[in-house]
Amino acid sequence: MFKEIFTRFIRHLPSRLVHRDPLPGAQQTVNTAVPPSLSAHCLKMAVMPEEEL
């Protein structure tokens, strides 16, 4: 699910921004604590239809 959320997020970013400041991969984020408010917001956005984004 984590990869799916990142994929949906990256799709809407300009490529020059992604190349300049790449998002962390699974290796860097495996032990990182995610605040409950952020994870709830991300999950809500992940299931939202693209038209509503």
pLDDT, one tens digit per residue, over 1-53 is 677 777 777 666 666 665 666 667 777 777 777 788 888 888 888 888 888 87
What pLDDT is recorded for position 2? 73
DSSP state of 51: G
Distance CA 42, CA 44 (A): 5
What pLDDT is recorded for position 37? 86
Distance CA 10, CA 6 (A): 6
